[in-house]
Structure 1
Amino acid sequence: MLEVQAVSKAFRGIHAIEDVSFRIEPNSITSLIGPNGAGKTTMINVITGVLAPTRGALLFAGQPIAGRRPHQVASLGIRRTFQTVRLFDKLTVRENLTVGGYRQLSGRRWLHRFLPMNLGDAAGRRRADEVLAMFDLTALADEIATDLPYGTQRRVELARALMGRPRFALLDEPAAGMNEKETAQLVRDVRRIRDEGVTVLLVEHDMSMVMSVSDKVVVLNFGRKIAEGTPGEVQRNPDVIASYLGSDDA
């Protein structure tokens, strides 16, 4: 589904990521982990077109995407969430989801200024109701999304990302700030997204979540890939233990 081929991104000569390569198979959950400053969010920004790589190639379903603008990447069926909650203020949960169903046509983003507040056509509203039920959010559909507890707002973001029937979802630290119960629900939600046929790239610091939900884990440190494999293989990798996971004997 996604091939990252020797990708580097430098800022004024300083490499945030350097010669990173990995593959993500269709209908899988791959986690990208590493210490703060390892280059994880830079990698997401390069994949989604927020940043252009300094060098290297990105292939999505065999199609080159390096250097494309964010709306062009999104038009291929790629969606993302962010480290901080970014819901639409004063809109209900259902309205937030319905906005997520709009596709940007031919880059004409100015059209969104004129969207009616009774958002969406009948098909869009039906899809919103379907996704609300999928995430057990139906009872909250008419609540103002930003008035909800933090963990629930995070789940609304995940639901919104699924609205446009994406092929690929990048989730940037979705468990940040969540308690244990909320994180357990998030694990179920991520699996539910995968079960909808969406390939997932997860950036996360919660190792219990990463190890329980991932098919494969890619580890970055100081912008370079130091390990890649199954959760068990990564947990036993001495470089990963030394740089990130730590030792029980320490």
Structure 2
Amino acid sequence: MPDEVLVSPAELFGDGVFETIHLRPSGPFLASAHVERLSRSAALLDLEPLPLDLTGLVSDGPESALRIIRTRRSQHVTVSPIPPDTLRERDAGVRVISAGLGFALGGKPPWSLWEAKILSYAPNFAARRWARERGADDLLWLSTEGYALESPTASLVWLAGSDLCTVPWAEAQILPGTTAAHLLSLAPSVGLRPAHRMITIDELRGADAIWLASALRGLASVTALDDAPRRPSPWTPILRDLLGY
């Protein structure tokens, strides 16, 4: 038997939270928003707050991935390269298929942790593998009523006329998207109106443009939804530039 247990049972079972931040030469992008979400996630797991100082952290190159991992025993900060597939999806866009999550709106149990970014990410990665086995790059989860919710690792953003929209996370009981929220806050600067609304998958198919937003991908254009190709949107480079990607 080893003299020291390096991983506690709680950590082994994924009883912790994390955040992924886009690290730039200027420092962590949207650091305060990510730290705030980390605190909300930790509170949902009854984790005690720990001090966190990201001062002085910068990327050695154009960009990196900064991760904060919080468990019941400790808190770790790591910096690593952004995976090539993530960069490719940012530039080339993503093919997305939709699938039911098995929950109705408001139907998740009171102990649900869907609004927290927890370490137990195996189902999220399994969902993406399932999508890739079917010729897509990513998945869009749907409620049993057919409302579009989020992808396993990104928030849904779409354009309807001059409205730049995302899903209201509290109503949908999903993880609040940091990158999506920041993008919507900047929308008026380019003449778009920010909006939070529910949308069915049928309504989404008629949107002027669809994107998946996340810290490392930034804003990835949905190039196909359920095998139906979508036209490139002139708004994609404008909004990516607005976010600084």
Normalised by the length of structure 1, the TM-score is 0.27
Normalised by the length of structure 2, the TM-score is 0.28
The structure, 1 or 2, with the larger RCO (C-alpha pairs under 8 Å, 6+ apart) is 1
Question: Structure 1 or 2: larger strand share?
Answer: 2
